[in-house]
Amino acid sequence: MRSLFSKRTVRIAAFAVALPAIVATSASRTFGYHANTCDEAAALGLLPPPPNDNKVTLCHFTGSDGNPFVINQPSLSAADNHAGHHGDCVRFFNGTIMCGL
């Protein structure tokens, strides 16, 4: 009695079943990336727009291995105090992002 499916058909079907798992694994490595600096956070789009024109989104570089930066939204005047801190990034209401002020 002859087989209903050829060996080639079975191999292609097995590959088709395994392919989504392979793609999901590689995608999770790419999308699971975590920024280690404020520059990287800004490049990845992790700095949300500030809620109004009197505030900014500030990425403050902490230098800690476990928590390398914190993102908060202080007033514009409070953010001026961070000017000159190494590694900080500020996103203004108009969308402009400046790092290393």
Residue 29 lies in a domain: no
Residue 4 lies in a domain: no
Dihedral sign, Cα of residue 28, residue 33, residue 34, residue 40:
negative
Residue 55 lies in a domain: yes
**37-89: pLDDT as tens digits:** 888 988 888 899 999 989 999 998 888 888 888 999 999 888 777 656 677 88
Residue 9 lies in a domain: no
Amino acid at site 75: S
Residue 43 lies in a domain: yes
* Domain extent for 63: 38-99
Residue 7 lies in a domain: no
Q: What is the number of domains present in the chain?
A: 1
**What is the pLDDT confidence band of residue 35, given thresholds at 50, 70 and 90?**
confident
Confirm if 100 and 68 have CB atoms less than 8 A apart: no
Residue 84 lies in a domain: yes
Residue 88 lies in a domain: yes
Alpha carbon 80 to its chain's center: 26
